Amino acid sequence: MVSLSRPHAPLRAVVDHCLRHRDSQGKIITLEMLSDIINIAAGIKIDEDSLRVTEDELGAAYKNCEDHTPIIDDDSTGHVLGTFKWRKDKLSPWTVADLARKANQQPVEYPLRIMMSDDMINKLMGFLQQRADDKKKREVRKRKREEESAESGNHRAPQAHMIEVEEVDEEEERRLEKEKKEAHMEKLLKQQAAQAKKLKIEEDKMNALRKDIADTHNELFQLGSVSTRSAPMKVQEGQRTLYYILDGRGGFLHYDEGMACIFPSDLAKNLADLPEKYGDEESKHNIRMKKVYELSNIGACQFFVPAGSSVVANNHQVRKEDSHDTVKDLQGLFGGDISKFDRDALRIAAAFNVQGYGASDEATEMIIVGWTAAILEQLGISDIDPSSISNGCPSRRTLVRHEAMLAADCMLVVLQEIMDDGAKFFALITDHGKRSGIEHFVKILVWTGWADPKKKDRKVLKFHCLDVDASAHDAEGCAAAVKRSLEEFTGLDGFKVTAVTGDAGGGASVHNLLPQLIKCGAVEKSAAKINCVMHGLNKCLESAGQDTFGGQGVNKRTPFQLLFVFNQLWKAIKEEGGGKKYLDSIYSVVVNKLLNDGDWQCEAKKNFKQAFQTFETQLQQLEELDGDKGIDDLVDLITETPSNISDPVFSRWKTVMSCTRVVLQYWTQIYFVAVAIKQREIHQKKHSSYICILASALLSLMKEKDTTNVNAYYKPGDKDMCMAQEFDDTQYLVEEQALPPLERGDTPVFYAMLLFFQAFGDAYFDDQFHFVMKDDPVLGEGSFGQTSRFCVERLYIMHKLLAELENDGWKTKIQFKAYKRALRGVSNLEYFDKMAKVFLERFRFVFDKHLRPCWTSDSILHYILGGNQVLANEFARWLVDYKRMSSDDEEPYQFTNQIIDMGAIHYRTTARKNVRINVEECMNYLTADADPAAIMQSDFVKSHWDLIEEMGTFEYIEDTISLFDDTTWGHVDFEPLLEAVWNEIAIHACHQQRCENYVQLAALVAKTSVGEVRRTLRAIILSTIIRPFHQWAKQVLAERNPDKPPPRRVEGAARGELLVKFMRKFSNKLERAKRLAEERNIDIKAIQQKLVNQSMKTSAHHKNKNMNVLLEALTVGKRNITKSEEAAGYIDKPVIMSDGITITFLSMNRSCKNCKSAWTKRNAMWKKKEFHHCESEGCCLAAVHAELKERNIKLSKKDLTFKTIGQKRHEIRAHVAKEVMVDEGKGQHGFVITDVKDFVPKAKLMESIKQMHLDWLNEKKGLST
């Protein structure tokens, strides 16, 4: 077995073999030693240096090797025989050339086993032997030449003469050779002339024979014989044709295969007749005689054409003529002062342009002109001047105008599509968002239609963004905005909105919005509502996390503040160095130092033992992996930082949980990156820099153990605690215990809290988020967020899984393994016992408030009919039992007691397991608060009661009807009920993520300073063209490449190609929609006018309403002056203007030597009842004591002795704050004690340090005094 990167390099193979030679065992091989070994193995004498394998040859043999190629003995010993490292910038491939001089040292490499078969070794050894033999032969020839020259070595002058003679002989030989060749040429010419005479005689004979043949043929023809002669251009079988040019004239003749005898007279006789105008005039003849011809091709054929001419096939000529017309059209397109592009062309341009979300119109305009000029330049069309190119390209106004036209076209196509689908039931998704300081109220219409309206073979969900216009914040204003947006659709036959999905909070929450929508007639009176399940889940996590661990904010000491500070530090480092590569380089240096620095390792073990053990375990596991995967992962771990980390805030879904995972995985590395950054800043004396403050804050949070015991934290120079302790893991029977034990104070509190938070995500939360983002298994890709038919049963699964964690159930889950181990090292175990209980309680409270009421409501509970077939049948039986139950029957319905698997849709992705539930427990939970009478009165149940009753009256409970499997229907046709599930239930979104995408789009478009008109235009185009295009394009690419996985998104040339094709399909749809719209008298211009007219927007109505109220208030209302608008009677004066002293300026460092000495000896002086009293000018402590006395702030002698200067100046701050709040009245304006930053001194000693204070202020600003 041979493992070589270049099998054709035999010298390398021989090197590998020779390193296994007995003479090389136990040695570190250098190039010099290796060349000796090779020469010995090849049987070459060492003293013949000219035959040696050189170091340069070895370097060349390994030139294209991997960076590290170690060589080991056989598998039995595993003895390292040699290692080398190829350096591209050096010829020598060896790691260190003089390693042989260093005793008992081995280079640190990753060895690989390389073995060679005996056959290969013999072949390679033969190669070297042959090479040596070739060298010997060259040596023999060299010696022979030297011997021949040595014979004449004693006759220098004659030798020179011989050389001169030899030169004369060579000239003579050339002359004689020339004469010989000339004589031979003369002989050949004579032979040629003689042969020509003979041929002339033969030609005369041949012509006489041909004449006899022709006469005989004519006689036979007259006697009735059939002619055997072909037409001039027709070739009979067995014949060939010669086409030729003779003296500028063309001709052809036929001749028999293998019997050709053609004479010059034959060529002259078979020339074609010349046209009359080019007759035998002397001038024309001379032109023909002088014409030069060139070889030319058409397809696979060759022929001669006059120089300067070319031959073109007819189809190519037609194309050239068409191209010429195209060029003329192109010149005409850019031949005026305005753009002449038609609407179809600009429709395509608008569709492509809408994808440049953040591009300004000016940039788009310039890009179009630039690319047009580049194309014309490439085509060689230079007669169109730059002014014509610029004028001929569409201007920004033209682009905007056609963008509006395209949006109106989209509305028209959507209206026609709804009619083709025959849709009657619609749902709304709304979201009131704010991005980049701009309000957006997104409204999306949902219905069920056909993937292909002609085939009508597959149902799909369809979406249309009505607009993203701004609106009022209250429910009434939002309802009016929805109604106005639906005006084009409400006229459709049977159009009704039966479902709404929205926010759970705010003035326009779905709970407040739906009644207003019903009131204004925008939706049906029986319309159902769903508050976003993703918002609900996130609210549960946010409330539980912040109520248990605390929130984020300046000076907060919580795990979430730790995450925030980490992210800010990471961003600050990247911004400092211009990107992630700079951060990676710092990270790599830090990890390398960590792996080799004992002090850092001691600090890690002392401050966060478990996290450091996790880091060591990661390294060990990756090192033990076989193959490139382990090496690649190991390199990534020690050289690359995680990427795409979002700000960890609860308002952005999943960001806190994902950031938690990153921090826990890289805890040790993150800590020491912060150490390195802080050390660098301090080294540069930048203690107060922003990045240094972040690093310090992060280090403080990461090592926090909730104890003031200084021995719990690492101190530089303390080596005793870092002594390695022997640990015998064989005494532990359980694998999870086979780690060094943790002691109280080993685990940082925030590390433990984040471990719990992560474990909760793994055990519960992440699976719920994954579920709500899934596509409907039947409706397919693009139906994410439309799984409401499964959400009723999913509610019980959420409840069940949460209940499994409650009452200390989390302790049995493997996801909490690391957290349970961390608990052994926390300082306050009782606090953490309470923490888990409180977290789960708070999560349950919000869960029962936001999620359970929604999915168990009487207007939503029947959605279970579209979910699991067993539960759907149980629900139907429950309703049937209620209807048949007498008023005296108080016995509750008994659901079936059986365990069922909930299928792939409920598969737990994170936990990697299926979900199994008890049917009876599930249905009892879901129907506990349900009112069957109200459910029976819902439109859905009343409309389809006959089929629901059929489903609920099966004779045997074991027999279940699946609406999605017609083989289970028996004699009943459940198709109408199945259609109702698609048309009325599947359209109801369970969350608003689809709306969030449009909010982000609107924010991107708003960055180019465009108004809400353009934002809505692009949202409509996006929902009608771009999003459907992506779904269609991915299917096309999947069909083109069936062996490859489907692409996640369409990119590159394929994207441009397919979008052009899609727009052509859209144009066909549009033409049909316009034709049918004219038949129905739909005003297309009115649709476009509504889209572009700002005065018709909801925001304009809201502004007009507010303006009317303002005018009414000014006209009718009475001027009232309230307390809040009264003047305060004071102004804030900067410290310099008030001749004040900054409180933080007062420090012990600015006190006199006597005060500093007294402070260090305060305990001894107190025992001796000695009191230090200083009245020195320029001493901060003396000034503070004087100010306290002047302000009548009484402190005992003990307080004066033992209180720090910081505590004493706080007394001054409190006194000043009292004066400001009471005497100046600032207390009524939200003034607090921490707002006091400086004060005006009252004591003379305090006034004596004013100049010192001013110098300090100037120094902070870099001013010299």
Residues 181-202: tens digit of each pLDDT = 878 888 887 777 777 777 777 7
Whether the CA torsion 1151, 1155, 1156, 1162 is positive or negative: it is: negative
User: 1238 — phi, psi (to 5°)?
Assistant: -150, 175
pLDDT score, position 1123: 74
pLDDT of 743 above 70: yes
CA nearest to 262, candidates 312, 320, 203, 216: 203
Task: Give 188: exposed, middle or buried? Use CB within 10 Å, 0-12, 13-18, 19+.
Answer: exposed
Contact between 792 and 864 under an 8 Å Cβ cutoff? The reply is yes
Q: What is the 3-state secondary structure (H, E, C) of 893-936?
A: CCCCCCEEECCHHHCECCCCECCEEEHHHHHHHHHCCCCHHHHH
Task: Kindly report which listed range (568-572, 1004-1008, 1244-1248) carries the lowest average pLDDT score.
Answer: 1004-1008
Q: What is the 3-state secondary structure (H, E, C) of 375-436?
A: HHHHHCCCCCCHHHHHHHCCCHHHHHHHHHHHHHHHHHHHHHHHHHHCCCEEEEEEEEEEEC
Query: Where does the pLDDT of residue 6 fall: very low under 50, low under 70, confident under 90, or very high at 90 and above?
Result: very low
Query: Where does the pLDDT of residue 1141 fall: very low under 50, low under 70, confident under 90, or very high at 90 and above?
Result: very high
Q: In the chain, how long is the greatest CA-to-CA distance? A: 165
d(CA 687, CA 907) in angstroms, rounded, equals: 52
Helix (H, G, I), strand (E, B) or coil at 1167: helix
Query: Where does the pLDDT of residue 425 fall: very low under 50, low under 70, confident under 90, or very high at 90 and above?
Result: very high
Structure tokens at 697: 């804050």
pLDDT score, position 543: 92
For 464, the enclosing helix (H) or strand (E) is strand 459-467
Contact between 481 and 469 under an 8 Å Cβ cutoff? The reply is yes
**Structure-model confidence comparison of residues 885 and 465, the more confident one:** 465
- Calculate the CA 964 to chain-centre distance: 37
What's the average model confidence in pLDDT over 427-433?
A: 88
Most confident of the ranges 633-637, 646-650, 815-819, 1052-1056 = 815-819
Task: Kindly report which listed range (492-501, 655-664, 1088-1097, 1203-1212) carries the lowest average pLDDT score.
Answer: 1088-1097
d(CA 1078, CA 1098) in angstroms, rounded, equals: 28
pLDDT score, position 284: 76
**Structure-model confidence comparison of residues 1211 and 383, the more confident one:** 1211
pLDDT score, position 58: 55
pLDDT score, position 981: 95
What's the average model confidence in pLDDT over 893-909?
A: 90
pLDDT of 1019 above 80: yes
Starting at the edge strand found earlier in the chain, the sheet holding 425-435 runs 459-467, 438-450, 425-435, 496-502, 528-531
pLDDT score, position 322: 56
pLDDT of 386 above 90: no
Query: Where does the pLDDT of residue 304 fall: very low under 50, low under 70, confident under 90, or very high at 90 and above?
Result: confident
pLDDT of 236 above 80: no
**Structure-model confidence comparison of residues 1106 and 831, the more confident one:** 831
Amino acid at 124: L
d(CA 724, CA 744) in angstroms, rounded, equals: 18
What's the average model confidence in pLDDT over 989-1009?
A: 77
Summarize pLDDT for 652-685 with one digit per residue, the tens.
878 999 999 999 999 999 999 999 999 999 998 8
b vs e for 560-575, b when ≥16 Cβ sit within 10 Å of the residue's Cβ?
bbbbbbbbbbbebbbe
pLDDT of 1130 above 80: no
pLDDT score, position 864: 95
pLDDT of 624 above 70: yes
Contact between 785 and 796 under an 8 Å Cβ cutoff? The reply is no
pLDDT score, position 19: 53
Residue 82, beta-bridge partner list = 71
**pTM of the model as a whole:** 0.69
**Structure-model confidence comparison of residues 771 and 274, the more confident one:** 771
Task: Kindly report which listed range (124-128, 170-174, 458-462) carries the lowest average pLDDT score.
Answer: 124-128
Structure tokens at 710: 């200084």
Amino acid at 859: S
Task: Give 730: exposed, middle or buried? Use CB within 10 Å, 0-12, 13-18, 19+.
Answer: exposed
pLDDT of 8 above 50: no
- Terminus-to-terminus CA distance in the chain, angstroms? 82
Task: Kindly report which listed range (506-520, 709-723, 743-757, 1135-1149) carries the lowest average pLDDT score.
Answer: 709-723
Query: Where does the pLDDT of residue 887 fall: very low under 50, low under 70, confident under 90, or very high at 90 and above?
Result: low
* Percent of the chain clearing pLDDT 70 (strictly above): 78
Residue 254, beta-bridge partner list = 241
pLDDT of 216 above 70: yes
d(CA 331, CA 502) in angstroms, rounded, equals: 55
* Percent of the chain clearing pLDDT 90 (strictly above): 33
The mean predicted confidence, pLDDT, of the chain is 79
pLDDT of 85 above 60: no
Beta carbons within 10 angstroms of residue 580's beta carbon: 17
Cβ neighbors of 909 (< 8 A, separation 6 or more) are 766, 767, 770
Contact between 551 and 523 under an 8 Å Cβ cutoff? The reply is no
Query: Where does the pLDDT of residue 375 fall: very low under 50, low under 70, confident under 90, or very high at 90 and above?
Result: confident
Structure tokens at 1104: 């007009």
pLDDT score, position 318: 57
Cβ neighbors of 102 (< 8 A, separation 6 or more) are 28
pLDDT score, position 865: 95
Task: Give 39: exposed, middle or buried? Use CB within 10 Å, 0-12, 13-18, 19+.
Answer: buried
Contact between 1159 and 1180 under an 8 Å Cβ cutoff? The reply is no
Contact between 467 and 1016 under an 8 Å Cβ cutoff? The reply is yes
Contact between 479 and 529 under an 8 Å Cβ cutoff? The reply is no
pLDDT of 733 above 60: no
Beta carbons within 10 angstroms of residue 745's beta carbon: 18
Structure tokens at 916: 């199994």
d(CA 1155, CA 1153) in angstroms, rounded, equals: 5
pLDDT of 1220 above 70: yes
Name the residue with tokens 């020195």.
Answer: 1176
b vs e for 756-766, b when ≥16 Cβ sit within 10 Å of the residue's Cβ?
bbbbbbbbbbb
Q: Number of C-alpha atoms within 13 angstroms, CB side, residue 639?
A: 7
Summarize pLDDT for 445-494 with one digit per residue, the tens.
999 999 888 888 889 999 999 988 877 778 888 888 899 889 888 778 88
**Structure-model confidence comparison of residues 1204 and 128, the more confident one:** 1204
Helix (H, G, I), strand (E, B) or coil at 155: coil
Query: Where does the pLDDT of residue 771 fall: very low under 50, low under 70, confident under 90, or very high at 90 and above?
Result: very high
Contact between 252 and 239 under an 8 Å Cβ cutoff? The reply is no
pLDDT score, position 90: 34
Query: Where does the pLDDT of residue 730 fall: very low under 50, low under 70, confident under 90, or very high at 90 and above?
Result: very low
What's the average model confidence in pLDDT over 343-366?
A: 85
pLDDT score, position 331: 73
**DSSP character at residue 981:** I
Query: Where does the pLDDT of residue 1108 fall: very low under 50, low under 70, confident under 90, or very high at 90 and above?
Result: confident
- The DSSP-derived string for 579-602 is SHHHHHHHHHHHHHHHHH-HHHHH
d(CA 490, CA 512) in angstroms, rounded, equals: 22
Most confident of the ranges 159-173, 505-519, 1224-1238 = 505-519
